[in-house]
Every structure is written in C-alpha cells, then in structure tokens.
C-alpha cells in the first residue's frame, strides 16, 4: 500500500460554480499533491457574477464534521475560508485550539469579487479575537487587511498596508500575506510580513480579466505547500507561482468572472511561462 499524501483540512463553504470555496480548495489541494479533508461551513447560491445567498450550517454540524475526521486520521494543516456565522467561528476556534501544533492558514473572506458582503462586523470581530491569534498565516487582500486592522475609534483613517500588517501581527498571527490585486499598481505586488517586518515581496504581471476564486486558490496553495513540508517563505512563493499559473490558464465558463484552472499543468496545451519579478 502506498503512503498517504499529506492532508489539509479545509473549513469552507460550497460554491456551485466550482470557482471559489470548498470546490476551489479541493481542486488546489489535490493538484498540489495533498488529500483534501472538507468541513462545510455554509452553502451559497451563486453564479460567476456574484453571490445571491448564504445558508450557514448549524455550528454543531460543523464541529461534528471536523471532530469525526480529526479523530480518524492525522491532519497536517488547517485552512479556513468562508465561515457563515459568529457561532461557527466560535465553534471552529474551539476545535482547532485542541490542535495547537497543526499550522493554520486563515483566508479572511469578507466579500465576494462583486462586493457582496460575506462577513458581518460581528463576524470580523470574532475572527480578530478568536482565529487570528491561532493563525500561522493570514492571507487578506489589501481591502480585507484594512477592514480587519481597523478598530472602532479610528474608523476614518486609512492606514498604510505596512501599518495594517503590524496591527494584524499584534493581534497574534505569525505571518501576514497582503495581496495587492486591488491596488492601483501596474504589477500585482504581494508582501509577506513577519514579526521582524517584510519577509518577502513578490511582483506579478497583472493579468487582464476579473477572477473568481483566486484568494481561495492562493490560501489553499499555501496550505498545500506547508503540508508538503516547505518553510513559510518558500511555501508562499510557490503558492503565488501556482496561483498565477492557474489564473493565466483561467477560463470563462459563464457570463461573469473568469475561473482559475487549478489543473493547468494537466492540459495538453500547457505552455508554462512565469510572470514573477522577485524584488
Ligand atoms: O473568494 C471568497 C469566497 C470564498 N468562499 C465562497 C465564496 C467566495 C466568494 O464569492 O463564494 C463560498
């Protein structure tokens, strides 16, 4: 019998388009050589243009799904995406606190690509308080980083991204990867911060088109890289490279956004090519 591949347990919501959510995680994790374990937090109704509705599961069902697999097999990395409710955040925080040695990749999903709200202010507060302190790495885009780092007293201020990263690290996560897709720059510039400052900066050729599921792909790819034994800085680079490739090979199956092709390498016409410009 062959050795089992590394396992990543993903807490995420279903996206019927296969672009984001648990479907994105399964494709990415499998494509990067891991076995995906999945705990569904919510079910969404959506198409490639946007999210119409979200049904959060009963938190007990979330806990029971997770405990069943955790008690059955080793889990190498946790990955968290869309959470659905404050009660689910509280329940997941409690489950993962029983496994402090399992690295946690937290993708703080706050809104869809179209801007549909996917987390209330109460959920953002619960993420800050209960999940951030347990995270090995969080992967906000610049908009999410600003919202997570904002405290009530200074609602109007627009902190620099370095300052946001400082605040998020102060809340207790080990690393913060802030992605620059939403910034007005010719290249997409992503910064990885640790407690001693910037660990690495990577710039990528900006691809035309609007993508659904790029954040889920990146966070899952980081989880896979960590599960495969890479150190954080290398894992973050590898995950960006993989994500950029899957976006470059992306396709538009419907009338809305493009979807990444997480299996780009398995297509006959795959040509390689790499948009990275390391700084
Ligand atoms: O991309 C964030 C995200 C995560 N999970 C689900 C989603 C979305 C965005 O639409 O629908 C299920």
Q: How many residues does the chain have?
A: 279
* CB of residue 181 inside a 6 A radius of ligand 1: no
Residue 272 has pLDDT above 70, yes or no: no
Determine if ligand 1 sits within 6 Å of the CB of residue 119.
no
Quick check: CB of 80 below 6 Å from ligand 1? no
- Taking CA atoms only, the protein residue closest to ligand 1 atom 5 is 21
pLDDT computed for residue 1 by the predictor:
83
Assess whether the C-beta atom of 20 lies below 6 angstroms from ligand 1: yes
Tell me the per-residue pLDDT of 227-242, one tens digit each, with 9 for 90 and over: 999 999 999 999 999 9
Report pLDDT digits (tens) over 178-193.
999 999 999 999 999 9
Closest ligand 1 atom to 109 CA? 2
Give the nearest ligand 1 atom to 42 CA. Answer: 12
Every domain of the chain and the residues it spans:
7-252
Topology adopted by domain 7-252: 3.40.1190
Which contacts qualify for 260-264: CB closer than 8 Å, 24 or more apart?
260/19, 260/24, 260/211, 260/213, 260/214, 260/217, 262/24, 262/27, 262/28, 262/31, 262/217, 263/27, 263/31
At 205-259, the pLDDT tens digits run 999 989 999 999 999 999 999 999 999 999 999 999 999 999 999 999 999 999 9
User: What's the pLDDT at 85?
Assistant: 98
């Amino acid at each position: 019998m062959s050795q089992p591949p590394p396992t990543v347990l993903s807490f995420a919501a279903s996206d019927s388009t296969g672009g984001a959510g648990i479907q994105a995680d399964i494709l990415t994790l499998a494509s990067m050589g891991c076995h995906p374990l999945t705990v569904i937090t919510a079910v969404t109704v959506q198409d490639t243009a946007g999210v119409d509705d979200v049904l959060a599961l009963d938190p007990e069902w979330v806990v029971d799904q997770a405990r069943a697999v955790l008690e059955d097999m080793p889990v190498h990395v946790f990955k968290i995406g869309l959470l659905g409710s404050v009660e689910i955040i509280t329940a997941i925080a409690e489950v993962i606190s029983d496994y402090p040695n399992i690295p946690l990749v937290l993708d703080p999903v706050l809104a869809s690509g179209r801007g549909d709200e996917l987390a209330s202010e109460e959920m953002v507060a619960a993420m800050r308080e209960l999940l951030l302190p347990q995270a090995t790495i969080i992967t906000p885009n610049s908009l999410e980083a600003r919202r997570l780092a904002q405290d009530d007293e200074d609602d109007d201020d627009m902190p620099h991204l370095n300052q946001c990263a400082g605040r998020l690290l102060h809340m207790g996560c080990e690393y913060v990867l802030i992605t620059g897709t939403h910034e007005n720059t010719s290249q997409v510039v992503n910064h990885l911060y640790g407690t001693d400052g910037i660990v690495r900066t990577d710039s990528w050729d900006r691809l035309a088109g609007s993508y659904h599921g790029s954040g889920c792909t990146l966070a899952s790819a980081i989880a896979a890289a960590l599960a495969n034994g890479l150190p954080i800085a290398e894992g973050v680079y590898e995950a960006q490279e993989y994500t950029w490739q899957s976006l470059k090979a992306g396709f538009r199956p419907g009338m809305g956004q493009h979807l990444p092709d997480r299996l780009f390498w398995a297509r006959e016409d795959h040509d390689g090519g790499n948009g990275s410009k390391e700084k």
